[in-house]
Structure 1
């Protein structure tokens, strides 16, 4: 991060990565350098109006920092948010964990930030954009990014860009049904990948198996490494379900690289070694892609939002 003293005439954009409980933000240079980083709570406990106000206030604060430290206002802004989006209209259609619906977020930010171009994108797709363009998938023409955390979601990358889908909801691999008739999912289906292979699902299963209600997925991974057969059984169920879901994605999309991120990926080869084997065992005519961990950590969302802002700016210039 570059944030030393007072710098002048540094072109930059605002990048905001809005999560369920917190926001990460950055001022991003044209070479993707993080010139300044900050974090704030979303204040979702105060309701959706407070969340929107917190986003607008944070963005305005970042604009002021950019003007003061880098010699001028940001050229554009990119914002990644969870839930269902209408990217063409710049509307956050719905997000259960933030409690909002039909928020014209791009228009609100454009007004608050003095009319600069603003791009709105899905938070996981923003992480995928960064990983695919400058992270673990750099140079790949086609990639699939899958974030395995509290939930499971993905991003489909083609030629350095993310495909949002016709209705703004592409990449929802967590809601592929891998165990028909299985555990009920919040989406209304049963047996979704997310109910079996997310970090939250592994944590619940290990808490039950171990008898420790406070146990989580990281504890399960640690127990796997120590040779605990109960943990190995839980982990094996997760790996099998995840491989089934990923093979569906690979069959449909034929990516050259499969990038796995999110909290569960922090288990390293405890996850990746059996996962690569399980995926390969399930393939028939499909080509096995490289299966790699995400490389950018929790900066991926901000970097992706920054890339989206620079992309939006270049589109405005050439339009």
Structure 2
């Protein structure tokens, strides 16, 4: 059975699948990244995992995987296949596509000397690709995907593809400055959207407001629903910042649809009702997009990595 390797690398764990040509997930697996041992250990863990997945596919389906798609966090140069930088993994300028192609080349069932096809993508853009083709954005010609997790990042969907930008940084809406002079950001700026409206930012603000260091964004959302005024103040600030960043994105991109995923989106109507109302109030000449929750959850990155691999094979056939 023809299949590809799909691998989604996160800060602490990796999700993987073998995916058939029709999108069927044939096999799933998870492993830790081992980041506590340093960036070299993370790279080794990725290579080992990919090799194990290929061996499983060969044993289970009678042939090796046809290609691999890998999604990683941070700055990614998809043209050269380089993982440029990821703060949470500690790496810089890793030629990950070349390393994977070398590790996965050869073996029973392969054509001698054939380079193994590998596609490397940014984790949020890859998740956006899956949401656009398989999830909440299916059929939309233009959409903006927003991931509200530890940080905030976006993906710009246009006619079934995701825009990477000239330097691999398209969609980094989390680093729009919405509060000049605000909290320091890991990017070196201050007042960036992700310092105020990410799940991590809400967790910090709610922990400070309620005096419980273990409090998190999910707890804040529950307290909002229960009518806690301290939680409502934290939530209003976060939604206000998110609205400012989102209106900027809408003005620049004119999307038909905004898809919101990540941990903060799990708050459901507690997030979406005030966010939709705030965006509506802020828009002037702009057309209001539909703002909807993501549909694929934490499987989006892995499914998107599979799509990257199949797209790569389709491009090779066309060429």
TM-score range, shorter chain: over 0.9
Q: Matched residue of 1:242: which SS?
A: helix
1:70 deviates by 1.4
Structure 2 unaligned regions, length at least 5? 106-114
Is 1:211–2:202 an aligned residue pair?
no
Partner in structure 1 of residue 110 of structure 2? none
1:254 deviates by 0.5
Q: How does 1:224-239 map to 2 (within 5 A)?
A: 224-239=224-239
Partner in structure 2 of residue 4 of structure 1? none
Partner in structure 2 of residue 37 of structure 1? 28
1:93 deviates by 1.1
With normalisation by structure 2, the TM-score equals: 0.96
Is 1:15–2:12 an aligned residue pair?
no
1:185 deviates by 1.0
Q: Matched residue of 1:179: which SS?
A: coil
- Per-residue CA deviations over 1:80-114 (Å, capped at 9, x if unaligned) read 00111111111111111111111111011111111
Structure 1 unaligned regions, length at least 5? 1-9
Partner in structure 1 of residue 66 of structure 2? 75
1:186 deviates by 1.2
Partner in structure 2 of residue 7 of structure 1? none
Partner in structure 2 of residue 151 of structure 1? 151
Partner in structure 1 of residue 263 of structure 2? 263
Partner in structure 2 of residue 61 of structure 1? 52
Is 1:101–2:92 an aligned residue pair?
yes
1:317 deviates by 1.3
1:176 deviates by 0.3
Partner in structure 1 of residue 299 of structure 2? 299
With normalisation by structure 1, the TM-score equals: 0.96
Partner in structure 2 of residue 111 of structure 1? 102
Q: How does 1:98-177 map to 2 (within 5 A)?
A: 98-114=89-105, 115-177=115-177
Partner in structure 2 of residue 272 of structure 1? 272
Q: Matched residue of 2:205: which SS?
A: helix
1:245 deviates by 0.3
1:215 deviates by 0.2
